[in-house]
Structure 1
Amino acid sequence: MRYQDRVAGIPWERIEAIRNALKGWTALHFIGGEFRPSESGEVFPTLDPSTNEVLSHAARGGEREVDRAAKAAHEAFQRWSRTPARERKRYLLRIAELLEKHADELAVVEALDAGQVLRIVKAQVARSAENFAFYAEYAEHAMEDRTFPVDRDWLYYSLRVPAGPVGIITPWNAPLMLSTWRIAPALAFGDTVVLKPAEWSPLTASKLAEIVQEADLPPGVFNLVQGFGEEAGAALVAHPLVPLLTLTGETETGKIVMQNAARHLKRLSLELGGKSPALVFADADLERALDAVVFQIYSFNGERCTASSRLLVEESIFETFVERVAERARAIRVGHPLDPETEVGPLIHPEHLERVLGYVEAGLKEGARLLVGGKRATTSFRGEDLSRGNYLEPTLFVGENRMRIAQEEIFGPVLVAIPFRDEEEALRLANDTKYGLAAYVFTRDLERAHRLALELEAGLVYLNSHNVRHLPTPFGGVKESGDRREGGHYALEFYTDLKAVGLPLRPPHVPRFGKR
């Protein structure tokens, strides 16, 4: 398999060398500044989603490894939290530089491990470097807060202090970008980290640890434990030396984590599932809406929490617009993630493919009309055999909002189109779900757009656009999509403690109890 001399700007020989190096490599834990195998010596395989062959291995950690990592993070916190902000800034900028230096290797490893298209993953790696560079600038100024003079007699002021070691549990769809999104603010604000990556795509986490080591970050400031959620993840949730936990993952997992963390009164930041609607009105720029809707559901293999997986279209244009979506879906190029022309690659794992196919079957049983796809893709757009991989044809249903395919997060390239009569019904349908992460509105009527932006039950609303992330803005959902906001200074609410200090400017009157 060789598509051309360069893919996403990376020479093919370099891609092949990286892939071959993974075959004999084991992704280890990184604890207290050192790479370590599991005490048991156990490892587990990570699969190449394009063939389901073993790509590499990772150490299988559990309670013992988490305990060592938590203790290392706790000990390092005593020093790192007191490290001057300008020094923390220099470390973060160094990590950002090294992420850029190693960008090609990181992108190839993640494309192979997660099945995401290489050119898209390369942009995600750039975002990972940007996460560190962005929060490096916050390190020196974000802890500033307010003063409260009171009648010339008192001066109160508030300030922020690092909150403690943070446990970061990340998903498999964009492991590097989504982990650095949490790691960067934690380190910038003086916290230490224990990272537990998803077991289906563990490799770039250990590559990130190599970068941290190259940046000479003090031992214990960043720690990594590989392993399964029910073993290493559960141990991290329960560990008493890790008072803060972040999770990016599905809602049911978030509920379990919340229940277990409640026993220790841990602070949580949960970024969970979504079933985001795209509302297309007849007066919209339909070309722009078409591009945005197709990209937002079918890019990233549909494995995106903010995917516009429900398409709500005004009745007068419903059949025409949905047929245009169908034409585009039929023409999407399904193929190997290293092919420069591929638009949709394989789903992450055979279990996930079966789960998504189960939703296709459920949609048919409930009476949804299947317009496109719905089957495993066995041949690429180039005619290559895809039968060993986890490929699914981009899928489009016409259905009703009550159906499971319209109510439950599928996390694959599956879109359900639903008609609406007017703005009132569009809003009702959009909000009729347990999720509330993102929503997309396409209309030339700006008054309507702003009305809907206020009324839609979502943490993120995009008007006449797909999801374009801007780091200073708050990110997060409502209802069962999450409970916090991160991004910019909003991240301070989670990663720091707010402290109030009172200083009398004149000796205050103090009641003299017990004085006779």
Structure 2
Amino acid sequence: MATERFQHYINGAWVDPVTKEWIDVTNPATGEVIGEAAKGGKEDLESAVDAARAAFPEWSHKSAEERADYLYALNELVKRDAEKLAATITSEMGKPLKEARIEVGFAQGLFRFAAENTRRIQGEIIPGSTPDEKILIDRVPHGVIGGIAAWNFPLALCARKIGPAIAAGNTIVIKPHELSPLVALRLGKLIDEAGIPAGVVNIVTGDGPGVGVPLVDHPDVPLITMTGSTPAGRKIMEAAAKNLKEVRLELGGKAPFLVMEDADLERAADAAVSARFMNNGQVCTSNERTYVHADVYDEFLAKVTEKVKALKVGDPTDESVDVGPKVSLDELEKVHAMVEKAVEQGAKLELGGKRLTGGDYDKGYFYAPTLLTGVAQDQDLVKNEVFGPVMSIIKVKDFDEALAFANDSQYGLSSYLFTESLDKIMRMTRELNFGEVYVNRGGGEAPQGFHHGYNQSGLGGEDGQHGLEAYVETKTIYLNS
């Protein structure tokens, strides 16, 4: 079967990799190669940075309205090609098509927010040291931004970095993940069609050693924004320290999901299952630890069990499918090893716990939606990010214990609370140590919010006005006549 070959997008042109090497991109549902992406190296990356540097002066001097117009045009093109982009996401990383459409919609929202806010990057005027002096705090772009995206939201994560970076007047070199680079390259075609000037956005594909490392090391890239694992984030921070460059890292999560005795249990069970099994659990905000008050534990478990049993696993292009394949065999095997270890440590396997086989399942990386009970707070499953379709239910005696267990984590990205008690909600605002809390709702951040974590979940944040401000730095001007 013929496959499409995708080149790098550098300086407004599509170019072959200097390495003359290509990466096969495989559909995790079928095992078929669906495309080839350029396998870049240091020379490709340096060409992209040079292009971005050359484009920066003119782009940064464009008016806010001009930059907004380009972003609005790009947003309309993403909207026009939404089905094609969603189908690409589904084919290269296995996300159910109905969820891929949601991702495309989120990407549109990110571009639209960036466009709307080019004129909201505000400075300050402060009284000077003399009657005739004013102190101006200006906001200016950094220059060339280095973006590194993860494989689980291959379009939205690119939009999350490209949108605010160029809205603020920067140029950018972005590296999509090698497991799912094709939708980013399709986005590159829309960037070109939108007329965004050559060199403003550059897309270089390849692996971490070939492209990621030289991007982080490059002395002309003052800011790195990366979404990925915590171990990878540590390496990036260490490498960036050599040039004292700024880093913004959105890393792993271990979100607690607290269900209190006064919660709407039907609503909570729906949200718990959705937040755990969306995108096959391959989401940093996924419900990783479900803490349920003892008074409602049995009823909640019964509701969740029925909902997990009802999940349909299969071909992600099927509109009725809830859970597609894992993105790769390695990722599937990691999840299965964690489930087996949990059972060895005393957890009870209620549902799933195995790779699905037979028929079309044999072609892809399908793992059964898994439900574990009897999980203890000190088990590995509670400490380490699972990143797969595995739900663990843990009984707690009261809100105090739920808070203590929730905070007992190296991570601090997202969390969930279901309660009708204003007192508990107010305590949560003081005592639940996570950068993002969903109260009486499932997951899913908004473009106008601020997505950020504490501790090992990263540095800085994305989205909203605070995320946009990350893409500028201050310049203090002591103004005298």
Q: TM-score range by the shorter chain?
A: over 0.9
- Residue 394 of structure 1 aligns with which residue? 369
Shift of 1:56: 1.3
Answer yes or no: is 1:255 the counterpart of 2:231. Answer: no
Structure number with larger C-alpha Rg: 1
- Tell me, what secondary structure is at the counterpart of 1:263? helix
- Residue 124 of structure 2 aligns with which residue? 146
- Tell me, what secondary structure is at the counterpart of 2:360? coil
Within-5 A mapping of 1:420-435: 420-435=396-411
Q: Which amino acid aligns with 1:38?
A: P
Shift of 1:216: 1.4
- Quick one: distance in 1 between partners of 2:210 and 2:51? 19
After superposition, the CA RMSD in angstroms is 1.3
Shift of 1:487: 1.7
Of 218, 225, 233, which aligns to 1:239? 218
- Quick one: distance in 2 between partners of 1:220 and 1:315? 58
- Residue 300 of structure 1 aligns with which residue? 279
Shift of 1:158: 1.1
Identity of aligned residues (%): 38
Within-5 A mapping of 1:279-358: 279-358=258-337
Answer yes or no: is 1:107 the counterpart of 2:86. Answer: yes
Conserved 8 A contact 2:12-2:199: yes
Within-5 A mapping of 1:106-505: 106-142=85-121, 144-150=122-128, 152-378=131-357, 385-398=360-373, 399-504=375-480
Q: Which amino acid aligns with 2:446?
A: H
- Quick one: distance in 1 between partners of 2:422 and 2:116? 35
- Quick one: distance in 1 between partners of 2:469 and 2:246? 11
- Tell me, what secondary structure is at the counterpart of 2:25? strand
- Quick one: distance in 2 between partners of 1:363 and 1:323? 21
- Quick one: distance in 2 between partners of 1:485 and 1:129? 19
Q: After superposition, what is the alpha-carbon deviation per residue over 1:98-122, rounded to whole angstroms, capped at 9, x for unaligned?
A: 1111111111111100100011111
Shift of 1:346: 0.3
Q: Which amino acid aligns with 2:120?
A: H
Conserved 8 A contact 1:306-1:437: yes
- Quick one: distance in 2 between partners of 1:230 and 1:455? 40
- Quick one: distance in 2 between partners of 1:109 and 1:504? 56
Q: After superposition, what is the alpha-carbon deviation per residue over 1:373-410, rounded to whole angstroms, capped at 9, x for unaligned?
A: 1111225xxxx531121101111111012111111111
Shift of 1:55: 1.6
Shift of 1:238: 0.7
- Quick one: distance in 2 between partners of 1:71 and 1:172? 26
- Quick one: distance in 2 between partners of 1:422 and 1:169? 41
Q: After superposition, what is the alpha-carbon deviation per residue over 1:473-512, rounded to whole angstroms, capped at 9, x for unaligned?
A: 211000000111222220244210111111246xxxxxxx
Q: Which amino acid aligns with 1:438?
A: S
146-155 or 433-442, which deviates more = 146-155
Shift of 1:51: 1.8
What 5-or-longer segments of structure 1 have no aligned partner? 1-19, 506-516
- Quick one: distance in 1 between partners of 2:394 and 2:378? 10
Q: After superposition, what is the alpha-carbon deviation per residue over 1:262-321, rounded to whole angstroms, capped at 9, x for unaligned?
A: 111111110000010000011111111011001000111110100011000011222331
- Tell me, what secondary structure is at the counterpart of 2:476? strand
Answer yes or no: is 1:55 the counterpart of 2:30. Answer: no
- Tell me, what secondary structure is at the counterpart of 1:309? strand
Shift of 1:154: 2.4
- Quick one: distance in 2 between partners of 1:201 and 1:273? 19
Conserved 8 A contact 1:50-1:389: yes
- Quick one: distance in 1 between partners of 2:21 and 2:149? 22
- Quick one: distance in 2 between partners of 1:369 and 1:453? 33
- Quick one: distance in 2 between partners of 1:470 and 1:236? 29
Conserved 8 A contact 1:27-1:202: no
- Quick one: distance in 2 between partners of 1:431 and 1:356? 23
Conserved 8 A contact 1:114-1:200: yes
Q: Which amino acid aligns with 1:349?
A: S
- Quick one: distance in 1 between partners of 2:6 and 2:299? 50
- Tell me, what secondary structure is at the counterpart of 2:243? coil
Shift of 1:468: 3.6
Return the TM-score normalized by structure 2: 0.97
- Quick one: distance in 2 between partners of 1:187 and 1:394? 40
Q: Which amino acid aligns with 1:210?
A: K
- Quick one: distance in 2 between partners of 1:438 and 1:159? 33
Return the TM-score normalized by structure 1: 0.91
Conserved 8 A contact 1:293-1:466: yes
Conserved 8 A contact 1:333-1:341: yes
- Residue 510 of structure 1 aligns with which residue? none
Shift of 1:327: 1.8
- Quick one: distance in 1 between partners of 2:444 and 2:107? 15
Q: Which amino acid aligns with 1:46?
A: V
- Quick one: distance in 2 between partners of 1:235 and 1:52? 31
Q: Which amino acid aligns with 1:371?
A: E
- Quick one: distance in 2 between partners of 1:182 and 1:122? 19
Q: After superposition, what is the alpha-carbon deviation per residue over 1:415-473, rounded to whole angstroms, capped at 9, x for unaligned?
A: 11111111111111000010000110111111111211321110001111112422222
Within-5 A mapping of 1:22-41: 23-41=2-20
- Quick one: distance in 2 between partners of 1:390 and 1:276? 25
- Quick one: distance in 2 between partners of 1:293 and 1:362? 23
463-472 or 34-43, which deviates more = 463-472
Conserved 8 A contact 2:152-2:282: yes
- Quick one: distance in 1 between partners of 2:17 and 2:446? 39
Q: After superposition, what is the alpha-carbon deviation per residue over 1:111-152, rounded to whole angstroms, capped at 9, x for unaligned?
A: 10010001111121122122111111111232x221112473
Q: Which amino acid aligns with 1:397?
A: L
Conserved 8 A contact 1:330-1:373: no
- Tell me, what secondary structure is at the counterpart of 1:167? strand
